[in-house]
Chains A and B, each alone.
Chain A
């Protein structure tokens, strides 16, 4: 039976591939010039969020994958730190995306404050890739705590 570190290796391997793919998609969509939307996913096409942000997402994917290369399991600290860094990079981009939503949801167009409908509407899908990756990246916290106990 696989131990939790081995499961972690497989989990972050898959997450790394998906993150890398999202990063590449971000850059391609930005280069293409028009935004892309599919279900709850929306890839922005502006140079800042799509270009620069996409580059950071791509780096996050590379961190995940390089953290998993050449090791038997995830508990090796130098490699595990790269996995943690991959998650931190996703938190940076997703945190910025959420902050944009918060700052955009409060002021109104004409009035001082937004309507209740407009306020909640800001948080409705579609979401950029980093926000979709955010819940999956949080799994690293479990492994950080597990590492501390061991």
Chain B
């Protein structure tokens, strides 16, 4: 065997590489350059604004197409009258009230509801909301989310927002659970596993539970108060960043940097996209829908037993004086503990000023995570749930009061 010195080895390497490797100037492809444009802040932010515009536009058109175009007609004109006609009992029967229709008072008489938004029965509103309103909304939401992931845009968005999210103790990939939360908070809480430290996961779960309105809420908001939806989302996003910033300063723990592997842009694969959509939809169907039905039942029982009125009287002064919303909103706000989406629908029926409506809906959003999310936080976060609840109570009072204060300073409350 020939022994080579270090220099001789390098000479040999040079000879081999000259014979085997071709050197020429690298020419970037259009796909690569566009990939760079989406990551640089100056060009990436306008592109992100455009992508989010497309995302929201398709979301609202698609959800409106199915809900307003077909499902409202199906439930209000066919399903509700059929249930009212065939279900045993009547408006004066408590079981009928729970399952089909609580009715409402008109000219001193109890009359049947004419829409599933008003009936509040487990088999009417309880089915209409998850399947008639929420399902089309979260289907299109997760479909677009999966397409963006598969195309390779989401990792670039993560790089783009990394600096901003570090200010609140998170990193770029926290954008994934955040965006998922706009569909349903249940898979979003599961997606917090993407974050490395306990501090980050606690922060993310708390912010998700409080400030990110789910597809159910967004769907109902678009349906009953479309003119205020944008303003309400702005308020919530503001709260998301401010609370995150404060929590990051208070909470002990690490917020490590991330190294993101940004894949090249590619054509999405139908099989991948559909698998992801089904995985997330099944999580909603298995966990969230039973809780929605249970929540509907509990709210109905609370109304029928009078415990809702009792709670309304108990909390009335706080709501009217601290939050500046009418006394009538106490019922829906208490019910929001079980059913945020229906609570928004209930609020829309109460006579309020624009500012009180915005405050009430913001309160419904930050008031409490829905039961399904609560169960998931308990499963994923365990004992950290208590901490999250403490933050939630403090945020609700401070943020709700702050909005009221802003209205007072503006002279509109």
Knowing A103-B62, A107-B68 are in contact, say whether A63-B46 is a contact too (CB < 8 A).
yes
Are the CB atoms of A147 and B54 closer together than 8 Å?
Answer: no
Q: Determine whether B43 belongs to the interface, using a CB cutoff of 8 Å to chain A.
A: yes
B58 at interface by CB-CB < 8 Å: yes
| B50 partner, pick from A77, A84, A92, A107, beta carbons under 8 A | A92
| Interface of chain A residues 33 through 54 with chain B (CB within 8 A) | 47-49, 52-53
Does A59 have its Cβ within 8 Å of any Cβ on chain B?
yes
CA distance A88 to B54 in the complex (A): 11
Contacts of B272 in A (CB 8 A): none
* Contact assessment for A56 and B50 in the assembled complex, using a CB-CB cutoff below 8 Å: yes
State whether the Cβ of A131 lies closer than 8 Å to any Cβ in chain B.
Answer: no
Residues of A within 8 A of B51 (CB): 92
B contact residues around A49 at 8 Å (CB): 57
For residue A20, CB closer than 8 A to chain B, the reply is: no
Interface residue ranges of B272-314 to A (CB < 8 Å)? none
Tell me, in angstroms, the Cα distance from A107 to B62 when the chains sit together: 12
Please report whether the interface of chain B is mostly helix, strand, loop or mixed according to DSSP.
helix
Task: Tally A residues with Cβ within 8 Å of B.
Answer: 33
Bound complex: CA of A128 vs CA of B30, how far in Å? 30
Contact (Cβ within 8 A) B54 A92: yes
Give A95-139 interface residues, CB cut-off 8 Å to B.
Answer: 95-96, 99-100, 103-104, 106-107, 112
B47 touches A85 (CB 8 A): yes
A100: chain B residues at CB < 8 Å are 57, 61
Residue of A nearest to B57 (CB): A96
Contact B230 A48 (CB under 8 A): yes
Confirm or deny: A93 has a beta carbon within 8 angstroms of a beta carbon on chain B.
Answer: yes
Contact of B34 with A by CB under 8 A: yes
User: Which of A81, A99, A106 is B58 in contact with, Cβ under 8 Å?
Assistant: A99
Q: Residues of B contacting A88 with CB < 8 Å?
A: 50
Asked whether A107 and B69 contact (CB < 8 A) given A77-B28, A99-B57, A147-B30, the answer is yes
Interface residues in B, total, Cβ within 8 A? 27
A104 to B66, CA, bound (A): 10
The answer to whether A93 and B37 touch across the interface, beta carbons within 8 angstroms, is: no
Residue of B nearest to A148 (CB): B30
The main secondary structure of chain A at its interface with chain B is helix
CA distance A103 to B220 in the complex (A): 19
Contact check: which of B47, B58, B64, B65 meets A96 at CB < 8 Å? Answer: B58
Least Cβ–Cβ distance between A46 and chain B, in angstroms:
9
The answer for the CA separation of A88 and B57 in the assembled complex, in Å, is: 16
Contact of B49 among A48, A55, A85 (CB under 8 A): A55
Q: Is the CB of A81 within 8 A of B61?
A: no
Quick one: which of A52, A60, A144, A147 has the most chain B CB within 10 A? A52
From the candidates B43, B53, B62, name the one contacting A85 in the complex (CB within 8 A): B43
Q: Does B33 contact A (CB under 8 A)?
A: yes
Task: Collect the chain A residues with CB atoms within 8 Å of residue B73's CB.
Answer: 112
B315 at interface by CB-CB < 8 Å: no
B218 CB to closest chain A CB (Å) equals: 14
Residue B238 is within 8 A (CB to CB) of chain A in the complex:
no
Q: Are B68 and A95 in contact (CB under 8 A)?
A: no
The CA of A103 and the CA of B62, in the complex, are separated in Å by 7
Q: Is there a chain A Cβ closer than 8 Å to B82's Cβ?
A: no
A96 to B43, CA, bound (A): 21
Find the residue from B29, B43, B53, B73 having the highest chain A CB count within 10 A: B53
Q: Are B47 and A89 in contact (CB under 8 A)?
A: yes
Question: Is there an interface contact between B230 and A103, defined as CB atoms closer than 8 Å?
Answer: no
Question: B220-235, CB under 8 A of A: which get 1 and which 0?
Answer: 0000000000100000
Alpha-carbon gap, A9 to B247, bound state (A): 51
Q: A77 touching B69 by the CB < 8 A rule? A: no
Taking A53-B57, A81-B30, A88-B50 as given, write out 13 further A-B residue pairs in contact, using a Cβ cutoff of 8 Å, ordered by the A residue number.
A47-B230, A56-B53, A59-B46, A77-B30, A80-B30, A85-B47, A89-B47, A92-B54, A103-B64, A104-B65, A107-B69, A112-B73, A144-B30
Cβ-closest 8 pairs across A and B:
A107-B69, A103-B65, A96-B57, A59-B46, A81-B33, A92-B54, A56-B50, A103-B61
Which A positions have Cβ atoms within 8 angstroms of B? 47-49, 52-53, 55-56, 59-60, 62-63, 77-78, 80-82, 84-85, 88-89, 92-93, 95-96, 99-100, 103-104, 106-107, 112, 144, 147
Report B's interface with A, CB cutoff 8 A. 27-30, 33-34, 37, 43, 46-47, 49-51, 53-54, 56-58, 61-62, 64-65, 68-70, 73, 230
